[in-house]
Amino acid sequence: MLDWTETEVTLRVPVPGMKSPAESFLPAPVDSASLDCRMKKPSGKSSLKVCLLSPHPMVLDEFHRLLEDSGFQITSKQLDSMLAPDLRHLEVPRASVYVVDAHAARQATGALMGNILEHHPGARLLVVGDKFKEADSYALLRQGAKGILTYAEARTQLPRALPQVAVGGIWVPRPVLSRFVDSILSGTQGRRLRMESPNELSRREQEVLNGLLENLANKEVADRLHISERTVKFHVSNLLAKFGVRRRADLILLCYQRRNADTA
């Protein structure tokens, strides 16, 4: 995953008397680099089911526009209330990935995310908002978000992020994810993570995973287990494949989120 940079955007549709999150979505001048990132329209319809959730019809329209050439099966639901008690009991369509507009207060967004994961435990959540403080991003990751995008980033990254999130990957800015993982490993939470892993792991894979969750380098794991560094790399590759992620930080975050889900 590439490191992200915010792109300045211009206002397409003015909203009298208030600033809408849809204002952050507008097309900017396109250069050759951004053209290369655009997805070509597939010949057939994708099996990926995506549900868009927002209280703003303009935001839903913009999400649809961004995904119109993706081939995804898209449903949307305009949220009539952004009160946490209402969102906890909201009925949402079944989907593989939910795109949640986080324009509302953090408590309301958390209530909606909790509701989705309670009724659809296998669902993946990608949250889109105006700007995220690092503490807000950490809170979303703790609540189970697999992807975080600003409105500006969504304009070019949403079609690429959804398939990655759908298969269990993580789409979060690398510096944010790295610092969040560091905060996990530096606390007592990191020590508890070593017990969480799929049942199909071999004994050696479990030992290597324990080392990763202690933030050990490959050489340190190799020295502890009295094996070669090349063998450690082999087991790390197998672990990433079994967990369906690409990087160590993604693996640690996934273990953290699974532990939280099991203890909730």
pLDDT value of residue 254: 80
pLDDT per position as a tens digit, 32-44: 233 233 333 444 5
Is the pLDDT at 26 greater than 60? The verdict is no
Residues 191-218, mean pLDDT to the nearest whole number: 75
Report the candidate in 251, 247, 180, 253 with the shortest Cα–Cα distance to residue 2.
Answer: 247
Map out the domains of the chain with their CATH numbers: 21-172 (3.40.50.2300), 180-263 (1.10.10.10)
Percent of the chain with pLDDT over 70: 75
Q: How confident is the model at residue 159 (pLDDT cuts 50, 70, 90)?
A: very high
Higher-confidence residue of 130 and 158: namely 158
d(CA 69, CA 126): 19
Q: How confident is the model at residue 213 (pLDDT cuts 50, 70, 90)?
A: confident
Is the pLDDT at 106 greater than 90? The verdict is no
Distances (CA, A) of 25 to 95, 106, 157, 226, 264: 24, 21, 12, 53, 35
Q: What is the mean pLDDT of the chain?
A: 79
pLDDT value of residue 42: 43
pLDDT value of residue 140: 92
Is the pLDDT at 59 greater than 80? The verdict is yes
Q: Under DSSP, is residue 139 helix (H, G, I), strand (E, B) or coil?
A: helix
Q: Which letter does DSSP use for residue 17 in this model?
A: T
Residue by residue, what is the 3-state secondary structure of 43-108? CCCCCCEEEEEECCHHHHHHHHHHHCCCCCEEEEEECCCCCHHHHHCCCCCCCCEEEEECCCCHHH
d(CA 264, CA 115): 13
Is the pLDDT at 56 greater than 50? The verdict is yes
How many H-runs (helices) and E-runs (strands) does the chain carry? 12, 5
| Entry pTM | 0.66
pLDDT per position as a tens digit, 231-251: 999 999 988 888 877 778 888
pLDDT value of residue 120: 92
Q: Under DSSP, is residue 235 helix (H, G, I), strand (E, B) or coil?
A: helix
Is the pLDDT at 90 greater than 80? The verdict is yes
